[in-house]
A and B are shown apart, each in its own frame.
Chain A
Amino acid sequence: MYTVAKLHDYSAAALQQAADELLHALEEESLAVKGEAQLTLYRNRWLGRKSGILTQVNDEWLKAAPREAKREAGQRVNDLKSAVEARVEAVLAAPAGSATAALAATDRSATAPVDVTLPGSRRPLGAEHPVIRTMNEIVAVFAAMGYSTGSGPEIENDYYNFEALNFPPNHPARDTQDTFLMAGQESLPRRERRLLRTHTSPGQIRIMEKQKPPVRMVVPGKVHRHDTADASHSPMFHQVEGLAVDKNITFCDLKGTLEHAMKALFGSRVRTRFHPSFFPFTEPSADVQISCIICDGSGRRGNEPCRLCKQTGWVELLGCGMVHPAVYGFVDYDPAVVSGFAFGMGVERVALMKYGIDDIQVLFQGDVRFLQQFA
């Protein structure tokens, strides 16, 4: 049961705490009051002239207060007095358990309503970048299919970016990957010369060097190509590379894997088709198209021609193929025993498509108004 404690500390905070404790007890006890006898007891306990709680408060808190704290303590005690008197009177008028008490309780909870249509005061929440978000989604889709995640340096050397991926020196295939070269590399042998990796494919080599088959791995990351920035090009972008090598992995497995992944990424209605392409490190090589996610492959949006797929119903999404046997030669795998496939997709392309963004540059401006749309 509540008792009035002596006060040692007359700071505002301490006074407040003491007052809160008292009012809490007043409220608790009021709920337990049943019948006339208890009503009287309740009234005397709080308002009794000789040793009622209010009287004790007056003695213990106010009279005992040091001179400098008197004024503030006096104010507090006066406030408490009115609060206690009001509450006791209310209980006398409508004892707990009576219909009037129930009503009084309701009334109390209805006092000083707030305008609930006011907007909430929010804690700002940061937004994931759509490219990182998309990249993580792609990685998660493949993780669910048994793919571990690897990484590799963004400044690569010629060996990993080209040579071990079966791009011979002075081969026109290198032209398709306009490369940023690092300066001051003349003293190094050609294969050690640094460049900004043009694809995440070097990750394949780095994985296979370290690990014997079976291998299932995706390598997400940043890549650079010597492209002037415009609405659809950026000299810096992101890719996710994938690799699966084991005994008896076939072209049919490649098709099935990517079909499944595309459905997981874009929805089960998405269709996939493959047509021949060329990458030095895969053979057979393929480009993969998916049915346009905007127009669902119809080529039209209502009466308008679909802009994303240019009315073809299909959009180019990724490159893939069976790992070229020459690549196995660089990592000491036996191409007569193992086979596998590799694929690579541009993350920005997927993100632009998924969110209907028509300018790649907005991804790299850090505009909070843009980013907050992804919160």
Chain B
Amino acid sequence: MAALAPDAGVKPRRRLLGKHPIGLLFAGPYLIYWLLLFAYPLGFAVYMSFRDYFFAAPGAQVDRPFVGLENYIRLIGDDDVHRAALNVVIFIVINVPLTVALGLILATALNTAIPGRTFFRVSFYLPYVSASVAVVAVWLYLFNGSGLVSNLLGSLAPDPPFLINSAWAMPIIALFATWKQLGFYVLVYLAALQNIPGELYEAASVDGAGTIRKFWSVTVPGVRPATTLVVILATIVGANFFTEPYLLTGGGGPNGASISPVLLMYRQGIEQGNPGYAAAIGVTLAIIVMGLSLLNRFLLDEE
């Protein structure tokens, strides 16, 4: 019994602090960062969404009454929210498959010994590291009524032009975001491609597989975890698009055709002083994105 006594003292501590308490020290700074900058604002957003909230000066005596589900009920009947939700669907339907397909094809191409490989790698990555404001200006010049694309298309160009055409505004935004982010996803796929053992390709060659067969049967399954990551990240980014409608289509135009949930949150929460309602939109968006991410993971992750 005497030999057991020290153990009895250690166990509760170990249960509390783990086998290696120093690990807490290492994880601590990030935990504090996460609590302060993620968990607290998220919890506060949930709190705000149940109130008629507005931002006030410290010390101001203000009334922010509890309104229950009122903000959420308003959201269900708001035409702007419906349009924004539809736009997220349009965005994701175009952006996610295109990102996966182009990302994988370009990464595969860049992984082979082609001339000017470094140049192409840098070229694809450049839009990702460029400021959105600068590259949006380039796209404005490309797609406005007298822009390069419209001129090249001539009579085939849509009327009204792309960016003020309610049928085209969202697809152009989705294409822009795909192009802007592609460099990052190519990089993810490039890293994943390095992990596919060369022997698999050799074995496939011995079995008589051609380039396309090897791509489908070795590369695509080999990068599956990366594809899961790319789909989840592209979905999250897609649901949160803001800069594109803010700058490319003049604040969600034409006539609200490219409004996004985050742009609506900005308008309501920051411009119009309704942060309670903006928070309700944000919380709903976060729940939907989490649901979509779980669904993606369920569908794509084999393990």
Q: Are A and B interaction partners?
A: no
B interface residues with partner A (beta carbon < 8 Å): none
A interface residues with partner B (beta carbon < 8 Å): none
